[in-house]
Amino acid sequence: MGKEFRRAGKALTLMAIATMAPIAAQAAPSPEQVAEAALRAAPVWDGHNDVPEQLRARRKNILAGFDFRDTTNTADPAKGWQTMHTDLTRLRKGHVGAQFWSVYVSASLDDPHAVQATLEQIDVAKRLIASYPQDMQLATSAADVEKAMKAGKIASLLGMEGGHSIGGSLGVLRQMYALGARYMTLTHFKNTAWADSATDKPEHDGLTDFGRDVVREMQRIGILVDLSHTSEATMRATLAVAKAPVMFSHSNARAINHHSRNVSDPVLKAVAANGGIVMVNIFPTYVVEETRQWLAARAGEKARQDALNIGDPAAAEAALKDWETAHPMPRGTIKDVADNIDHIIAVAGIDHVGLGGDFDGVETTVVGMEDVSTYPALFAELARRGHSQADLEKISSGNMLRVMKAAEAYAAAHRGDPPIESPTTF
């Protein structure tokens, strides 16, 4: 009797295991499912998008007749305009729940015109956001971002790209904050009078004394310090001064792509110690080392053809086009973006990486990330590499939310500190 009972029990156990095995196999989610779950729980908080620049260049900031629900018909080859990367439909498809809209203006402008143009860009960004109240909500704090996301709206924040936007004035900096700006990139392609750019001749060994005061005042009032586009010396000098977390709104790993505006491993470690974040972008020049090398080769070929065809620029241009046809630019793929993310995680840790696409601010993208709708594909690639849903939620928006809260907490603790004063210049 006992033996028969044991045999029956063993048979039932084997049957149970056989029955459960298919269920267990079905329970393992696909990378796409992991990505979808992460993005539903924590939508993307993108660090940099240049739609306001497109509005200025294409429409002189006139919004009448502009439909931001669908911009897929915005190409105009005669004017050199490609289809825009961003609209509300594609932002929704990409699970973008918060966006820093860049209020960039040219670094070639003199101080008064840079300040005026920045004010105009803040205005047009705010008017665009207000035009779509069912979809977008102006955000000036981490709490605003959380509230907008909970309501199913795209939290819309403003970031100034380049310290020239304040015209060398801490008073202007404070007024930009009052108007809603919540980060400022210290430089763009050119140096300012107080900070060195990654793409200009060094002048200040990073920051001047006034530049250090700019960083201190930004953190005192709660504007995030953005180190994208800055030189290595500026990055290091800023991190030495910073008391609150800093950000790189759209940068990559220099170990992967050696461009001077990317972030070296020593700086990545310093960012981790600071509590900051590096938000990875999708521009091949900064993502893919082969693209950077191709650009250098193209520059050499252009110089060669110009020298061979002195007095005949048409011939030089035709020869260069022939060279480009024979040597097409490598664009890289979505996997190259993931490689940059993985490297930053390996050096700085999972808590210090995010996404700053630079959409509508670049001429081309890596293959597979042609517009803002493609973020789920990137997250599926990361899930395929073994990143958990919890990790993906940090990358998508959790890390940026933490950084902004920490910067706000620092500003709140120093609200009683007197403003740093600087003399007027005219």
Q: Known catalytic residues?
A: 48, 50, 161, 188, 229, 250, 358
Buried b (16+ CB within 10 A) or exposed e, 18-55: eeeeeeeeeeeeebeebbbbbbeebbbbbbbbbbbbbb
Measuring CA to CA, which residue among 315, 279, 276 is closest to residue 396?
Answer: 279
Strand locations in 211-345, DSSP E? 224-226, 247-248, 277-280
Structure-block tokens of residue 419: 């403003």
Please give the DSSP secondary-structure letter assigned to residue 197: B
* Region for residue 61 given its phi and psi (left: phi exceeds 0; alpha: psi -120 to 50; beta: otherwise): left
Q: How far apart are CA 26 and CA 423, in angstroms?
A: 68
Whole-angstrom distance, CA of residue 283 vs CA of residue 224? 23
Neighbours of 302 (CB within 10 A): 16
292/285 Cα distance (integer angstroms): 5
